[in-house]
Amino acid sequence: MPLVFIPWPALTWLLPANTAIAVFAFPRVGLGLTFLATLAAIGLVYEWVHYLVHSDYRPRSRMYRAVWRNHRLHHYKNEHYWFTVTTSGTADRVLRTYPNPSDVSTSPTVKALHAQEAATR
């Protein structure tokens, strides 16, 4: 579970950086607050979908099934592809990280990434 959510060390610099952007990039307080609220909403949707993908929950909708399938391919087929979590591969198609799964070999390290990360700490 610790690797499912955005790590606290990342949030400790993201939150002040986004607040600084809101203060200095927008001429009115309301615009800056809208910017921060939008980022928070996007972050919460990302975290919720990513959590569901890693849980035992089975998708019911067509769109969520596509997201679920793609992210499962990322974790169980090859960690170098299928990065998107909140869309069904839109960014992956643009960034060319959305190959046909049958054309990609299963990575020997894909299922051991968490163990490797824990060993390096």
Q: What is the pLDDT of residue 19?
A: 95
> Of the ranges 56-65, 67-76, 77-86, 105-114, which one carries the lowest mean pLDDT score?
105-114
- Compute the mean pLDDT over every residue in the chain, rounded to the nearest whole number: 85
Model confidence pLDDT, tens digit, residues 30-76: 999 999 999 999 999 888 888 888 888 888 888 888 888 888 888 88
pTM of the model: 0.71
Q: What is the pLDDT of residue 1?
A: 62
Q: What is the pLDDT of residue 102?
A: 92
Model confidence pLDDT, tens digit, residues 12-21: 999 999 999 9
- Per DSSP, helices labelled H in the chain are 8-25, 29-54, 62-76, 90-94, 113-120
Neighbours of 68 (CB within 10 A): 20
Residue 119: pLDDT above 70? no
Q: How far apart are CA 18 and CA 9, in angstroms?
A: 15
* pLDDT band at 103; cut points 50, 70, 90: very high
Dig out the tokens for 6 from the structure. 């955005």
